[in-house]
Amino acid sequence: MRETIEQQLSSAFNPLHLDVVDESHMHNVPAGAQSHFNVFVVAETFSGQRLVARHQAVYRALAEQMAGSVHALALKTLSPDEWAAAGGGGGVVSPPCLGGSSGET
């Protein structure tokens, strides 16, 4: 699934930088679930766009995956100028999941 997400985002945004990290192991999901991802995208198309518009564009690009097995995306979306101003570098890793499942009351 990680590779599929990378391919979809590469095709949609032609990113300058792209990190897709499978963080499913940090959540209360079955082994091998591939359901929680942290995505960091730097793309020219984000220049002049508000954060909500950027995230909506990513969700549109991944609509099929979001309708399937992908449960959650942590998104960081930057324009090249914002990325340069921040010193470049990679994405972020989400904090550990605090638990919870549909079976808890």
Residue 8 near residue 65 (C-beta atoms within 8 A): yes
What is the rounded radius of gyration, in angstroms, for the C-alpha atoms of the chain? 14
Confidence of residue 23 (pLDDT cuts 50, 70, 90): confident
Phi/psi for 72 (5° steps) reads -150, 140
The average pLDDT across 54-70 equals 90
Question: What is the DSSP code (8-state) at residue 21?
Answer: E
Tell whether domain 2-85 is in CATH 3.40.50.920.
no
Question: What is the DSSP code (8-state) at residue 44?
Answer: G
Confidence of residue 56 (pLDDT cuts 50, 70, 90): very high
- Which residues partner with 100 through β-bridges? none
Q: Is the pLDDT of residue 100 over 70?
A: no
23 or 44: whose pLDDT is higher? Answer: 44
HSE at residue 65, side-chain half, CA atoms within 13 A, is 22
Instruction: Report domain extents, the chain.
Output: 2-85
